[in-house]
């Protein structure tokens, strides 16, 4: 049976987020966490494959203990197992350290529950937003990587082949490659399902497997947490919102409005704006 791992991250709900105007940092207090929505599309695709041809799905996250809530949500939707990797030693991780630990975790999952055929990640997160963790994990595990996937066309377990559509700037690219493979999910991939009542009951009783640094004796300490994170956040700021001059068009008839609009579009000021936006 196929074994699919889905990587998820708990992120602050961006609809609720505010910026502290004094120091330009995110106000996280009181902001609810949600599972990054691209990751939910990765999970949905894994569930769709499971529904069609059978698969075992393991969800994984590296994060603080409250990240368990996100894993339980995935269980309620139909994931089979969940792993929380948590330890003070992992705190302060940038994308380099995160992908190192997530890759090691997937290797341990494979050793514990059997070889992994497909890994799903989101295209990016709503908070960090780098899109680096998926490719970082693929490189470390020497997996084929398929990024920006908006359709999984086929998963052929016998031939060990996966065919996907990748959404590129200038069209769709259809690619077939061999498993094991890492896929980064776009929101166009599918529509995320809702949890069923039995799913919710299972999730309420479910206890995720928790691994700490002690469970990874060969982890290089210099590569985890703050120590393993060479990224420096030099500055953060809130972009200045500039007031835009509004041109009002009053008219008696649609023809008169069109004539006025055409006249205004031909002004030098408007031409500069149009040149800038093209």
Residues that bind ligand FAD (CB under 6 A): 7-9, 36, 38-39, 60-63, 91-95, 98, 102, 121-122, 124-125, 127-134, 229, 231, 233
Beta carbon nearer to ligand FAD, 91 or 270: 91
Q: Can you tell me the distance from the alpha carbon of 204 to that of 86, in angstroms, rounded to the nearest whole number? A: 20
Q: Are 118 and 46 in contact (CB under 8 A)?
A: yes
Beta carbon nearer to ligand FAD, 208 or 253: 208
Beta carbon nearer to ligand FAD, 108 or 161: 108
CB of 120 to ligand FAD, least distance (A): 7
Beta carbon nearer to ligand FAD, 236 or 267: 236
CB of 249 to ligand FAD, least distance (A): 43
Token digits of residue 272: 């500069």
Distance of CA 206 to the CA centre of its chain: 24
Q: Exposed, middle or buried, 274 (CB in 10 Å: 0-12/13-18/19+)?
A: exposed
Beta carbon nearer to ligand FAD, 234 or 244: 234
CB of 20 to ligand FAD, least distance (A): 17
Using DSSP, how many helices (H) and how many strands (E) does the chain show? 7, 13
CB of 10 to ligand FAD, least distance (A): 8
CA dihedral sign, ordered 153, 135, 28, 92: positive
Beta carbon nearer to ligand FAD, 9 or 56: 9
The C-alpha angle 214, 42, 106, rounded to 5 degrees, equals 25
The DSSP secondary-structure symbol of 64 reads -
CB of 88 to ligand FAD, least distance (A): 10
The three-class DSSP label of residue 46 is helix
The DSSP secondary-structure symbol of 224 reads S
**Closest to 8 (Cα-Cα) out of 90, 106, 144, 96:** 106
CA atoms within 13 A on the CB side of 197: 0
CB of 124 to ligand FAD, least distance (A): 4
């Amino acid at each position: 049976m196929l074994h699919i791992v889905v990587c998820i991250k708990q992120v602050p709900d961006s609809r609720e987020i505010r910026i502290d105007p004094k120091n330009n940092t995110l106000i996280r207090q009181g902001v609810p966490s949600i599972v990054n929505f691209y990751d939910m599309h990765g999970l949905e695709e894994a569930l769709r494959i499971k529904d069609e041809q059978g698969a075992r799905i393991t969800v994984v996250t590296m994060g603080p203990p409250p990240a368990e809530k996100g894993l339980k949500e995935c269980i309620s939707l139909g994931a089979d197992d969940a792993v929380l990797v948590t330890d003070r030693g992992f705190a302060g991780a940038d994308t380099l350290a995160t992908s190192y630990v997530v890759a090691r975790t997937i290797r341990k999952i494979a050793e514990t529950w059997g070889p992994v055929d497909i890994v799903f990640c989101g295209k990016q997160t709503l908070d960090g937003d780098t899109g680096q963790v998926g490719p970082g994990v693929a490189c470390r595990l020497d997996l084929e990587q398929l990024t920006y996937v908006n359709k999984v066309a086929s998963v052929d377990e016998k031939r060990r082949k996966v065919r996907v559509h990748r959404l590129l700037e200038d069209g769709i690219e259809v690619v077939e490659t061999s498993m094991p493979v890492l896929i980064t999910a776009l929101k166009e991939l599918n529509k995320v399902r809702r949890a069923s009542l039995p799913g919710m009951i299972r999730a309420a009783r479910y206890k995720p497997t928790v691994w700490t640094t002690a469970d990874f004796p060969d982890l290089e300490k210099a590569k985890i947490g703050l120590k393993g994170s060479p990224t420096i956040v030099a500055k953060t700021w809130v972009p200045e919102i500039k007031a835009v001059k509004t041109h009002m068009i009053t008219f008696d008839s649609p023809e008169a409005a069109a004539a006025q609009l055409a006249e205004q579009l031909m002004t030098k000021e408007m031409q500069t704006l149009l040149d800038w936006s093209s």
